[in-house]
Amino acid sequence: MQLQEILYTQGFGTRRVCAGLIQQGHVQVYPRGDADGEPQVCTDPTQAFEAEGLRFRVQGVAWDYHALAYVMLHKPAGIECSQKPSAWPSVYTLLPAPLRQRPSRSKVAGVQAVGRLDQDTTGLLLLTDDGQLLHRLASPRHDVPKVYDVTLKHPAGEGEVQRLLAGVVLDDDPRPVRAQACELSDPHHLRLTLTGGKYHQVKRMVAAVGNRVEALHRSRIGGLELPADLAPGQWRWLTAAELALLAC
């Protein structure tokens, strides 16, 4: 694949912009298979490289080629999961420009969040440009479990836990919505596992048993848990092993 095409697929701009970056000496390519090798400047936009496994630098920033993007982000509070936020900053501002600009067959460029978290909810957020994975993880029909750590305003007991497991009725659906798992670590802290993704579902379920959510944190999606070393506001690529956990 030509180097200008590689940069284009990774979100570094139009093909013309990518060609200009290369011609101006802003792109360096690392030698394949040499982790300690020094990157070499490439000024020919049409020079061909094997894209898979290619590592390069653009204007001093190192980048690995990814045919499809799979990233995790530790969402902080006070951030909206929207491209066009209404009152709070967008979660997409926490990502580098290439991830936001990756070309896409859909009308919206860049990676997309897998579901949304409320602006005051923290925790694990996945973003990808893989439409099939996006649909599978976001669709309630596929029953992908999501684990939430809930801080409650009022102390709760086993009675509330059993009601959440049995199912509560929300105002937009006469069918009971139940938790797949529910446990109290102490009277003010609840761990809730859901497969659905209704609007404000956790908050509304907790309200249905007479309590109120003071803080909400998503710690797991499928078999993938938010790493302890990923600080709020930080993101990183998923490893192959982590990606495989999402199929569990």
- Dump pLDDT digits (tens) for 116-154: 899 999 999 999 999 899 888 877 677 899 999 999 999
Cβ count within 10 A of residue 101: 18
Name the nearest CA neighbour of 7 among 107, 144, 126, 101: 101
Domains of the chain: 3-64 (3.10.290.10), 70-140+224-245 (3.30.70.580), 145-221 (3.30.70.1560)
Query: How do residues 31-62 score in pLDDT, each as one tens digit?
Result: 987 767 899 999 999 999 999 999 999 999 99
Catalogue the active-site residues.
118
Summarize pLDDT for 6-32 with one digit per residue, the tens. 999 999 999 999 999 999 999 999 998
User: CB within 8 A of 241, min separation 6: which ones?
Assistant: none
170-189 pLDDT, tens digit each: 887 788 999 999 999 999 99
Q: What pLDDT shows up at residue 248?
A: 57
Say whether pTM exceeds 0.85.
Answer: yes
d(CA 90, CA 88): 6
Within 102-187, where are the H helices? 131-138, 158-166
